[in-house]
Amino acid sequence: MTVKMGEDLTGPPQANRILSTLSRNNYFTERRFDKEPVYQYHPLFKDFLIFHARKTFSKKEQTVLLRSAAKLLEEEGQTESAISLLRDAGD
């Protein structure tokens, strides 16, 4: 995800600081450079976050988040990832 995607999905304007700190401290987050920095979670960390999201958010909230994330991915040209999230949302 880009910093803008993180901010659009979660709302906090400090997404850049959070993602940069996770990457710099090797907290299961990798930073890659394209036109702008792109962050990717380690698969185990991603699974951990998904597990906790399922426990924390209602099914309706999860569906809203998945659809929002899919829209952001689609806007960035990441169609396959967007389709995967829409499938997870039951769409």
Q: What's the chain's Rg over C-alpha atoms? A: 13
The pLDDT of residue 12: 74
The pLDDT value given to residue 85: 94
Q: What DSSP state is assigned to residue 37?
A: E
What are the tens digits of pLDDT across the range 3-18? 989 899 888 788 889 9
Please report where in the chains the tokens 């090797």 appear, as a residue. 26
Q: Is 64 inside any structural domain?
A: yes
Domain count, the chain: 2
Model confidence band, residue 23 (pLDDT cutoffs 50, 70, 90) = very high
pLDDT of residue 16: 87
Distance CA 30, CA 39 (A): 6
What is the residue range of 64's domain?
Answer: 57-91
Taking only the tens place, the pLDDT of each residue in 24-75 is 998 999 999 878 889 999 999 999 999 999 999 999 999 999 999 999 999 9
Is residue 89 situated within a structural domain? yes
